[in-house]
Structures are given as C-alpha cells and as structure tokens.
Chain A
Amino acid sequence: AQKITQTQPGMFVQEKEAVTLDCTYDTSDPSYGLFWYKQPSSGEMIFLIYQGSYDQQNATEGRYSLNFQKARKSANLVISASQLGDSAMYFCAMRGRIQGAQKLVFGQGTRLTINP
C-alpha cells in the first residue's frame, strides 16, 4: 500500500521568498510516480509537477521544482519567488494501483499563505 505524509498543516511566507513544502512517501513498488497539486478555495485540483521514480533529474516547471531524494523517500515541492496567488492548499500524491485502476493517494495537505 502507498502512503503520503505531509507534516506541515500550515506555512506562512513573505511574498517573493522561496518556500519548501515537505512530503514523504512510503511504497513497496519499485516503479512509482509522485505528483503535486494546488487547490485554491474554489476547490479544483490544479496539477503542478510530476516526478517519476526512475527520472534521473529533479522535475522543474517554471517556478516549481521538486527536490526528489529517493533514499530518504521524500519529494519536497519548492516554490521560488512566491506570489500572493500562490496562497492555497497544496497536496502531494502518489500513483497507486488498485485492482485494474490507477488511483492517486493523497497526503493531508499543507495550507500555504503568502503575506504581502
């Protein structure tokens, strides 16, 4: 079974600073994928970044980068130059399999607040 742990219920950061959101995972599968999603107050889950377990380099997407440390089973999200619009819930997720389906297993989330 897969498990995602996000230990920071809330983070407060000044605008333009960088922020790291923590995520650790547990799985016995040799091949897996890790995702980060942003959920604003409207409710929609917005895909940010993906890291495959066999990817040689850490994933980057614009201001988002993923600090993937396989031996430590961590996949932290780094947001550079934070903006007021980054205030939202952030979820780390892992792709899992159940019967014939591919599902996402989510952590509890971290609420990020960017202060002006």
Chain B
Amino acid sequence: ETGVTQSPTHLIKTRGQQVTLRCSSQSGHNTVSWYQQALGQGPQFIFQYYREEENGRGNFPPRFSGLQFPNYSSELNVNALELDDSALYLCASSSILAGLNNEQFFGPGTRLTVL
C-alpha cells in the first residue's frame, strides 16, 4: 500500500510569486484535504476535494485554489504569495466510504518559505 506523497519537500519563493504544491493520495482513497501549519501552531483546514470538486473550504482567501485529478491526486495553488504564507502545507487523504472514523492519512508536507 503506497502512502501519501507530496512534492516538493521544500520551496523558497518571493512575495508576489505563485506556487503549486502536489499531493498523491494513498491507494484506495478518493478524498484529499489540504492544511496549512504555521510555525508553532496546529494545522488549519484550507479545503477538501472529492470527485474532482471542492466540497468544503476553510477561512482562506480565493488566491488559494486547488485541483483534483481523475487518479485522485491533487494540487494546491497559491497566487500573489505573502510573507504570512510561509508554513508547512500538509496534504491528507481519506476515503469517503470509510464511515464515521474516516481517518485522514497525512503526507510528509511541503515547507514553503516566502521571502
């Protein structure tokens, strides 16, 4: 069973640039969630994708957008980067059929630094 993978592991960008982060979900999982974890904080929910559509979004501006592909992998795009976007971005996959537990399995994260 292949776990959740993310790329790249580290990224440095400058303010105003755009970035794309990638996530491959665990085998058999059809749902992908993205979280932002600022230094010293718990992860914050950005959005979730199911059947290639966004089915829920947290308190993040529209410059945070995403995609899900037919193979359930996903991208997180952030436009017009700001210094506060510096964080660890975590991707989590789950199965909508898993029932009440619906455990989310996390990838290793992408650490984004905005200068």
Contact = CB atoms under 8 A, between A and B. Distances in A.
A99 B103 contact: no
Interface residues of A, number: 29
A107 to B, nearest CB: 6
Contact of A44 (B47, B58, B107): B107
Interface stretch (B14-22, B38-46, B68-76, B78-86): B38-46
A68 interface: no
Nearest to A4: B42
A71 interface: no
A12 interface: no
Interface stretch (A13-21, A45-53, A73-81): A45-53
Contacts, number: 76
Closest 9 CB pairs of A and B: A101-B56, A106-B42, A101-B48, A100-B55, A45-B106, A103-B45, A99-B56, A43-B109, A98-B56
A103 B42 contact: no
Contacts of A114: none
A42 interface: yes
Nearest to B53: A100
B100 A104 contact: no
Interface string A16-57: 000000000000000101010100001111110010100000
A101 B33 contact: yes
B109 A101 contact: no
Given A42-B108, A100-B55, A100-B56, A47 B103 contact: yes
A40 to B, nearest CB: 10
A46 B109 CA distance: 12
B45 A31 contact: no
Contacts of A95: 102
Given A44-B109, A108-B42, 19 more contacts: A31-B100, A33-B100, A43-B90, A43-B108, A45-B90, A47-B103, A50-B103, A93-B42, A98-B45, A98-B56, A98-B57, A100-B50, A102-B48, A102-B94, A102-B102, A103-B48, A104-B92, A104-B104, A107-B42
